[in-house]
C-alpha cells in the first residue's frame, strides 16, 4: 500500500509540475491578482485628500510643526494664488476643496459630487477652527477625543487580500486536481488498469489527497512569502501557523467537491467548466476578493454555507487578525464535515468508466 501511494504521489506531482496550464492557474494567476489587489489598494490607508489653499491662510500656516504634520497625514495641501483656478480644480474633482481665509473667517468651497472627501476636509478644518477658538479663550480644554483603530495599526489592504486570494487559489487548485485526475484516468482507462495492480483504489485517493495538500501548502508559502515583501508589507500575527491546519482542512473540502465534479463530468472540458462554475461565484460570495462587510446581510448569511467562506475567515483570523489557535476550531470542524459529506456523495456518484 505505502509503496503504491509513494509512486502514485510522485507521478501526480511530476504531472502537475510539467503541466504549465495547471501550474499557471494554481500559482501564477492568483499571484497576479494578489499583486494587482495588494498593489492597487496599497496606499489606501494612508491616502490623503488633496486641498488647494488660496493665498495665505494664517490658521493653517501658523500651526506648530507637530500639529501641521498631523494635518498633512489627512490633507495634501497645495498652495495657489489663483482663486478661480482653485475653484475650477474642485469642480473637476482634482481637489476635494479650496480653502482661503478672509479675516477671521475660514472659507471652504467644495463639490457636492464628492461628499465623503469634502466631509473629511470640513471636519479637519472645523477642528482646527475649534482648537484656535479654545486657545484664544485662554482656558484649558475640558474634553478630549482619543481614537484608536481596532485592528493592528499596520493593517493594510494586503492583510485582507492575502488570505482571500490564497483561499481562492487553494479552492480552485484542489477542485480542479481531483476532477481532472478522475476524468482523465477514467477516460484513458488508467483507473481500471490500476485496479488490476496490487495497489488498488485506496492508494490512488491517498496519493491524490497527499499531493493536493502539498500543493496547497506550497501555494500558502509562495503567497505569504510574496505578500511579506516590503512592497506589499504583509505582517503575520502570532499564531499564523494555525493557518496550516485550516489550509489542509480547506483542501480536503475542495478535493471532495472536485471528486464529485469528476464523477459527474465526462470530459476534461466539462470538469473545468464545473470547477469554475462552483469556485468562482463562491469566491465572490465568500469574501475572497472583496470583504463581505460591505455586502447585504443575506449575502453574508448565504456565504456561511460555502466552505470557501470558512477557509478565508479561518486563515484571516489566525494569519492577520491575531486570534488564538482555538478561535478557528469551528471553521476547521465545518470544513472537515463538509469534506466528509461531499466525499460520501462523490463515492455514490463514482463510475469506473463512461457508459
Partner 1 sequence: MASTIVVSDLHKAYGETRAVDGVSFAVEPGEFFGILGPNGAGKTTTLEIIEGLRQPDRGTVTVLGESPWPRNPRLAPRIGVQMQATAFFERLTAREQIRAFAELYQVPVKKADEMLETVGISGKDKTRTDKLSGGQKQRLSIACALVHDPELVFLDEPSAALDPQGRRNLWDLLRGLNAQGRTVVLTTHYLDEAEMLCERVAIMDGGQILEMGPPATLVRGLDAPTRISVETGVLSTDEAERLFPDATVEDDTVSLTIATRDPATVLSALAERRALKGLAVRSATLEDVFLQITGREYRA
User: What is the helix (H) or strand (E) element at residue 100, kind and residue range?
Assistant: strand 97-102
- CA–CA separation, 254 and 172 (whole Å): 8
Q: Which of 79, 91, 195, 266 binds partner 1 (CB under 8 A)?
A: 195
Taking a C-beta distance cutoff of 8 angstroms, is the pair 336, 252 a contact?
Answer: yes
Q: Which of 35, 108, 155, 194 binds partner 1 (CB under 8 A)?
A: 194
Please identify, using beta-carbon distances, which residue of 19 and 72 lies nearer to partner 1: 19
Q: What is the CA radius of gyration of the chain?
A: 28
Q: How far is the CB of 181 from partner 1 (least distance, A)?
A: 9
Q: Is 190 one of the binding residues for partner 1 (CB under 8 A)?
A: yes
Q: How far is the CB of 25 from partner 1 (least distance, A)?
A: 16
Please identify, using beta-carbon distances, which residue of 124 and 194 lies nearer to partner 1: 194
Q: How far is the CB of 175 from partner 1 (least distance, A)?
A: 18
Q: Is 354 one of the binding residues for partner 1 (CB under 8 A)?
A: no
Q: Is 238 one of the binding residues for partner 1 (CB under 8 A)?
A: no
Q: Is 2 one of the binding residues for partner 1 (CB under 8 A)?
A: no
Q: Is 73 one of the binding residues for partner 1 (CB under 8 A)?
A: no
Q: How far is the CB of 300 from partner 1 (least distance, A)?
A: 41
Phi-psi region of 233 (alpha: psi -120 to 50; beta: other; left: phi over 0): left
Please identify, using beta-carbon distances, which residue of 17 and 337 lies nearer to partner 1: 17
Q: Is 340 one of the binding residues for partner 1 (CB under 8 A)?
A: no
**Would you give the distance in Å from CA 203 to the centre of its chain?**
35
- CA–CA separation, 63 and 60 (whole Å): 5
Q: Is 269 one of the binding residues for partner 1 (CB under 8 A)?
A: no
Q: Is 23 one of the binding residues for partner 1 (CB under 8 A)?
A: no
Q: What are the percentages of helix, strand and coil residues in the chain, rounded to 5? A: 70, 5, 25
Taking a C-beta distance cutoff of 8 angstroms, is the pair 249, 310 a contact?
Answer: no
Q: Which of 18, 102, 139, 153 binds partner 1 (CB under 8 A)?
A: 18
Cβ burial, residue 318 (10 Å; 0-12/13-18/19+): buried
Please identify, using beta-carbon distances, which residue of 3 and 238 lies nearer to partner 1: 3
Q: Is 189 one of the binding residues for partner 1 (CB under 8 A)?
A: yes
Cell of 5: 501511494
Helices and strands, number each (H, E), in the chain: 15, 4
Please identify, using beta-carbon distances, which residue of 11 and 344 lies nearer to partner 1: 11
- CA–CA separation, 113 and 118 (whole Å): 9
**Count of residues touching partner 1 (by CB under 8 A):** 25
Q: How far is the CB of 343 from partner 1 (least distance, A)?
A: 20
Bridge partners (DSSP) listed for residue 99: 53, 108
Q: Is 3 one of the binding residues for partner 1 (CB under 8 A)?
A: yes
Q: Which of 126, 188, 267, 276 binds partner 1 (CB under 8 A)?
A: 188
Please identify, using beta-carbon distances, which residue of 4 and 167 lies nearer to partner 1: 4
What are phi and psi for residue 269, nearest 5 degrees? Answer: -60, -45
Sheet bearing 97-102, strands edge to edge = 75-80, 49-54, 97-102, 105-110
Residues found near partner 1 in the complex (CB under 8 A): 3-4, 6-8, 10-11, 14-15, 18-19, 184, 188-190, 192-200, 352
Amino acid at each position: 500500500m505505502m509503496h503504491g501511494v509513494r509512486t502514485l504521489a510522485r507521478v501526480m506531482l511530476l504531472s502537475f509540475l510539467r503541466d504549465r496550464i495547471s501550474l499557471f492557474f494554481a500559482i501564477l494567476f492568483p499571484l497576479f491578482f494578489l499583486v494587482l489587489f495588494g498593489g492597487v489598494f496599497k496606499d489606501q490607508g494612508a491616502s490623503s485628500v488633496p486641498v488647494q489653499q488660496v493665498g495665505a491662510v494664517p490658521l493653517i500656516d501658523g500651526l506648530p510643526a507637530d500639529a501641521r504634520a498631523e494635518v498633512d497625514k489627512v490633507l495634501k495641501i497645495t498652495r495657489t494664488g489663483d482663486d478661480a483656478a482653485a475653484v475650477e480644480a474642485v469642480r473637476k474633482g482634482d481637489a476635494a476643496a479650496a480653502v482661503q481665509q478672509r479675516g477671521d473667517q475660514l472659507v471652504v468651497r467644495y463639490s457636492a459630487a464628492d461628499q465623503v472627501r469634502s466631509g473629511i476636509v470640513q471636519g479637519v478644518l472645523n477642528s482646527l477652527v475649534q482648537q484656535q477658538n479654545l486657545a484664544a479663550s485662554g482656558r484649558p480644554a475640558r474634553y478630549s477625543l482619543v481614537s484608536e483603530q481596532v485592528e493592528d495599526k499596520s493593517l493594510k489592504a494586503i492583510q485582507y487580500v492575502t488570505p482571500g486570494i490564497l483561499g481562492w487559489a487553494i479552492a480552485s487548485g484542489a477542485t480542479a486536481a481531483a476532477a481532472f485526475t478522475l476524468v482523465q484516468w477514467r477516460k484513458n482507462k488508467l483507473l481500471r488498469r490500476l485496479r488490476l495492480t496490487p495497489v488498488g483504489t485506496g492508494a490512488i485517493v491517498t496519493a491524490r489527497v497527499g499531493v493536493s495538500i502539498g500543493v496547497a501548502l506550497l501555494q500558502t508559502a509562495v503567497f505569504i512569502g510574496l505578500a511579506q515583501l516590503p512592497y506589499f508589507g504583509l505582517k503575520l500575527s502570532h499564531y499564523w501557523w494555525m493557518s496550516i491546519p485550516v489550509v489542509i482542512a480547506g483542501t480536503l473540502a475542495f478535493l471532495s467537491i472536485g471528486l464529485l465534479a469528476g464523477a459527474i463530468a465526462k470530459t476534461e472540458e466539462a470538469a473545468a467548466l464545473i470547477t469554475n462554475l462552483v469556485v468562482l461565484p463562491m469566491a465572490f460570495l465568500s469574501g475572497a476578493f472583496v470583504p463581505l462587510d460591505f455586502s447585504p446581510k443575506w449575502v453574508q448569511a448565504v456565504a456561511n454555507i460555502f466552505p470557501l467562506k470558512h477557509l478565508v475567515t479561518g486563515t484571516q483570523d489566525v494569519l492577520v487578525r491575531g486570534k488564538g489557535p482555538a478561535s478557528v476550531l469551528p471553521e476547521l470542524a465545518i470544513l472537515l464535515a463538509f469534506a466528509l459529506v461531499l466525499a460520501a456523495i462523490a463515492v455514490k456518484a463514482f463510475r469506473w468508466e463512461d457508459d
